[in-house]
């Protein structure tokens, strides 16, 4: 990609990120183009569908979550790595209103542009969970699908105005439920 095309692409993504942060996944493509001071055709040339735009927006974050899991796996004890990564994912799904639905539906749709990145995030989360289970620090009656569902549910709940003030408390309850015999201090330490 030429330097000017790369600059335009980056500008469109930055404007789209702002619009999606403000309006959630229902942000209008027309509004994004207007905010970026380009025509809708220009936006569609770079991102022919809403899903293509969200793939570009979300894959950077999903790739970062994958990298974070790998870093935590080698730098923290299994329970701390799992809960720290869990917090990172919940923060991500809270960053864009409606992203939980996109990620959850892409998780089971191989035709989705987000499928590969979601599958990778799911896989690294399952690995962190299995590592903690092998060490005896996480429940053995759950799997990666359960972990993914809990992250999605917590991200959704924390995004609701009625539950937002209790988001941190809800996180600690769920983190404590994932770990075996956690003291409240251990769960809080791992969650930070």
Q: What is the pLDDT along the chain (192 residues), one digit of tens a residue?
A: 677 778 888 899 999 989 988 888 888 999 999 999 999 999 999 999 887 888 888 888 888 899 999 999 999 999 999 999 999 988 888 877 777 777 788 888 888 888 888 888 899 999 999 999 999 999 999 999 999 999 888 988 887 889 989 989 999 999 999 998 765 444 445 444
Contact 56, 47 (CB under 8 A): yes
Contact 156, 182 (CB under 8 A): no
91 and 7 co-located in one domain: no
In this prediction, residue 185 carries a pLDDT of 43
The distance from CA 179 to its chain's CA centroid, rounded to whole angstroms, is 21
81 and 166 co-located in one domain: yes
Rounded-to-integer distance, Cα 9 and Cα 43, Å: 9
Rounded-to-integer distance, Cα 120 and Cα 33, Å: 31
CA nearest 160: which of 98, 111, 101? 98
Rounded-to-integer distance, Cα 49 and Cα 111, Å: 14
26 and 56 co-located in one domain: no
**Domain, as residue range, for 23:** 1-48
117 and 24 co-located in one domain: no
Contact 187, 172 (CB under 8 A): yes
State the CATH number of the domain containing residue 169. Answer: 1.10.357.10
HSE, side-chain direction, 13 A CA sphere, residue 121: 29
Contact 83, 68 (CB under 8 A): no
Rounded-to-integer distance, Cα 43 and Cα 33, Å: 6
In this prediction, residue 15 carries a pLDDT of 94
End-to-end CA distance of the chain, in Å? 40
125 and 106 co-located in one domain: yes
In this prediction, residue 107 carries a pLDDT of 80
73 and 42 co-located in one domain: no
Number of domains in the chain: 2
Task: Give the C-alpha distances (Å, rounded to integers) separating 161 from 13, 14, 71, 125, 157.
Answer: 27, 26, 33, 27, 9
Contact 122, 135 (CB under 8 A): no
Rounded-to-integer distance, Cα 100 and Cα 80, Å: 24
């Amino acid at each position: 990609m030429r330097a000017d095309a790369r600059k335009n692409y980056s500008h469109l993504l930055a404007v789209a990120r702002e619009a999606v942060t403000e309006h959630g996944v229902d942000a209008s493509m027309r509004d994004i183009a207007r905010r970026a001071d380009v025509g809708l055709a220009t936006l569609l040339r770079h991102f022919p569908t809403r899903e293509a735009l969200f793939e570009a927006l979300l894959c950077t974050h999903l790739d970062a979550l994958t990298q974070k899991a790998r870093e935590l796996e080698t730098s923290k004890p299994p329970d701390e790595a799992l809960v720290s990564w869990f917090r990172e994912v919940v923060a991500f799904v809270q960053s864009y209103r409606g992203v939980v639905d996109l990620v959850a539906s892409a998780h089971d749709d191989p035709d989705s542009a987000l499928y590969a990145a979601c599958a990778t995030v799911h896989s690294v989360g399952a690995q962190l969970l299995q590592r903690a289970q092998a060490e005896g620090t996480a429940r053995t009656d759950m799997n990666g699908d359960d972990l993914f569902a809990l992250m999605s549910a917590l991200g959704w709940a924390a995004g609701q105005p009625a539950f937002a003030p209790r988001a941190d408390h809800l996180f600690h309850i769920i983190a404590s439920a994932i770990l075996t015999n956690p003291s409240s201090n251990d769960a809080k330490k791992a969650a930070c």
